Amino acid sequence: MGDPSPRRREDSTELVARVRADAPGAWARLVRRYERLVLSVPRGMGLSEDDCEEVFQATWMALHRQIHGLRDPGSLGDWIITTARRQAWKHLRRTSLRRQREGASLPSESEAGEGVRQEPASPDAPPIDEVLRLERRQIVHEVLEGMPTRCRRLLEALYLGRDDPSYAEVARRLGMPIGSLGPTRARCLAELARRLEEAGLS
């Protein structure tokens, strides 16, 4: 299998096949595509930054070890979410056991940092709603990143910005006539909807 066409974004099945074949750059593309998803899982479970980093690395190591045995590379996002969640659980469990063995009292929540969960979460498969939410988030961000630059920047400015900028501010930032923002937004949303459909978002 050759390099991906520059005109079409490779899907996860193709990407996994290229990683398995040791194709140049394939692993780097895999990391770029999914690294934010990996990190979002332990963060969503409330782990500390140090713990998130350990889970992040453990998840990538697990993926590299097991990539030849993945049964359904088309569901790589789902596999990553489940694996990252299990790694997070294992990490919490080991930490908890170590503390118990050492007889140390668990720090209070305020000592540990706001939102840090002290007891391991269940390692069971994550709730379907959570997987769906994370998968959809990944798909939307993947599709958005593959959009033409002008559209991507406009949609990010209008929908993903931390502030709520006025049309005039967005037009200024992007160097676009204010009168073109509405029609351009409609065209870009239409293209986004088409690409989301192609990406399998139902």
Task: Give min distance, CB of 87 to other proteins, in A.
Answer: 9
**Cα 150 from Cα 155, distance rounded (Å):** 9
Task: Give min distance, CB of 15 to other proteins, in A.
Answer: 14
Using the minimum distance from each CB to other proteins, give the nearer residue, 13 or 96. Answer: 96
CB 111 within 8 A of CB 123: no
Residues that bind other proteins (CB under 8 A): 27-28, 31, 35-37, 39-40, 43, 53, 56-57, 60-61, 64-65, 86, 90, 93-94, 97-98, 101, 122-125, 136-138, 140-141, 155, 159-160, 162, 182-183, 185-190, 192-194, 196-197, 201-202
CB 8 within 8 A of CB 51: no
Q: Which two tokens stand for residue 151?
A: 């559209």
Using the minimum distance from each CB to other proteins, give the nearer residue, 108 or 114. Answer: 114
Using the minimum distance from each CB to other proteins, give the nearer residue, 26 or 108. Answer: 26
Using the minimum distance from each CB to other proteins, give the nearer residue, 110 or 117. Answer: 117
Using the minimum distance from each CB to other proteins, give the nearer residue, 5 or 62. Answer: 62
Task: Give min distance, CB of 196 to other proteins, in A.
Answer: 4
Task: Give min distance, CB of 89 to other proteins, in A.
Answer: 8
Task: Give min distance, CB of 143 to other proteins, in A.
Answer: 9
